Amino acid sequence: MNSNIRVRLAPSPTGSLHIGTARTGLFNYLFAKKIGGTFVLRIEDTDLERSKPTFEKDILEHLTWLGITWDEGPYRQSERLDIYEKYLIQLFEQGDVYYCFCREEELEIERQEMMTRGIAPKYSGRCRSISSEDARRRITQGELSVIRFKMPETRIIFQDMIRGGVEFDTSLFGDVVIAKNLRIPLYNFAVVVDDFEMNISHVIRGEDHISNTPKQIALQKALGFTTPEYAHLPLILDKNRAKLSKRFNAVSILEYKNTGYLPNALFNFIGLLGWHPSASDTELLTQDQLIAQFDISRVQKAGAIFDIEKLNWMNAHYIKEKTPEELAVFLGSFVPEEWTKHKEKLIRIASLERERMKRLSEFTDLARFFFDMQEYDPQLLVWKTMSSETVASNLRDVADILGVYDGTWGSAALESLIMPLTESRGRGEVLWPLRVALSGQSHSPGPFEIADILGKEDSLVRIASALQKLTQQK
């Protein structure tokens, strides 16, 4: 293992794990695994009002479900307040931070004035001149304040592993707020301390954080920290190349799971959101293949297209790859509880229906007729221009053949029994009415496979019911 390479995923437990965070976690995971580095999980839970244990539980469970495992953690910022306080005190002692007592309405007026004058809005620095003694007195008296960092007015340039050289003029930022008080750090400060303390060598995150990077580099320099390598991943876009709507971006991994997507399908799909391998054109890659082929230099700068049709196609592929036994286990949470009592039957139906599924949630509707025959229109039994009398005649002959058969009941045996009848009557004329009689569906697996699973008695009962429908139709 390359002990010098350390990456991290740092989600906030203010919501469920969604596609964007999962993609960031996956790229960090692939990067670490490819070069033998360490993948650290850190929970950024200093937002006490919005952070919830239930969201942390969701994040941990669904990272694991996806197959994104971490080597260290989870660390929690809420358990590291002493560390942040130590570095805030250091910044005060160096004269790099100060207490700001400006009210929100004052700052808004200031912002509007600057915009009216055509100036990029930033904090004016009016509280910089307040002495430390005066600041302590005002805090003791209960006056509200925040801690601001004296942003140096310079140009910060860093090399992004995806975007190349990136440059910012920090004079445009103004003095940024880095903490509410010594015990409540804000994002830009806490992340700098954590990355240093945890020896993070590479920060791989979404491009929405790119404007935070120069602020964090300025803090690193003030604290005497080393600066990690940065890589900012492209935005996730819809098929029209617009910013991904909440419809998909805010959809949690739990919802994809509950809709019937397999973890390895999502792992594969998310791994190709903004990255593609050089070794081949195939888009179907196992976890090991993704790790082996991952190269962060091949991450694209342009937005990554979220194509739900591709995800459905991938999911259908991985469903087909599952053994019937494996598939039945996944299907257990999608079907009525009563069905799970018939384990062998469920396995056989899974084997039969897996070719027709894009999502596991479709299985219940596809397989319902095996457990509960629904009403259907008798006209559905008719193949093309057949008369009802001919349909009924063919079904009676099939029933007679099956009724006297006392051999092993199976699809191959049933096919050998019935197919000779199709030579004189017509394939569609015999098999269509039989399939509909057994399933009540316009689309379903073949009649021999259905009859095999239903068994002789149930198959004959359904054929008799179809004949009764045809009689009542006259």
What are the catalytic residues? 246
According to DSSP, residue 243 is labeled B
Interacting residues of 202 by C-beta distance below 8 A, sequence separation 6+: 5, 6, 7, 31, 37, 161, 228, 229, 230, 231
Which tokens sit at 197?
């303390």
User: Looking at the DSSP assignment, which residues form a beta bridge with residue 32?
Assistant: none
Which tokens sit at 27?
């790229």
Angle at 110 (CA atoms; ends 106, 115), nearest 5 degrees: 150
Q: How far apart are alpha carbons 385 and 426 in whole angstroms?
A: 13
Q: How far apart are alpha carbons 194 and 207 in whole angstroms?
A: 20
**Residue where the block lists tokens 């299907």:** 331
Angle at 415 (CA atoms; ends 409, 417), nearest 5 degrees: 80
Which helix (H) or strand (E) segment is 350 a member of?
helix 343-353
Neighbour tally for 388: CB within 10 Å: 17
Q: How far apart are alpha carbons 263 and 64 in whole angstroms?
A: 10
| Cα–Cα nearest to 259, from 342, 319, 215 | 319
187-197 vs 213-223: helix crossing angle, rounded to 10: 60
Reduce the secondary structure of 291-320 to three states and give it as a string.
HHHCCHHHECCCCEECCHHHHHHHHHHHHH
Pairing relation of β-strands 229-233 and 202-206?
A: parallel
Amino acid at 222: A
Interacting residues of 371 by C-beta distance below 8 A, sequence separation 6+: 336, 338, 339, 342
Q: How far apart are alpha carbons 359 and 345 in whole angstroms?
A: 20
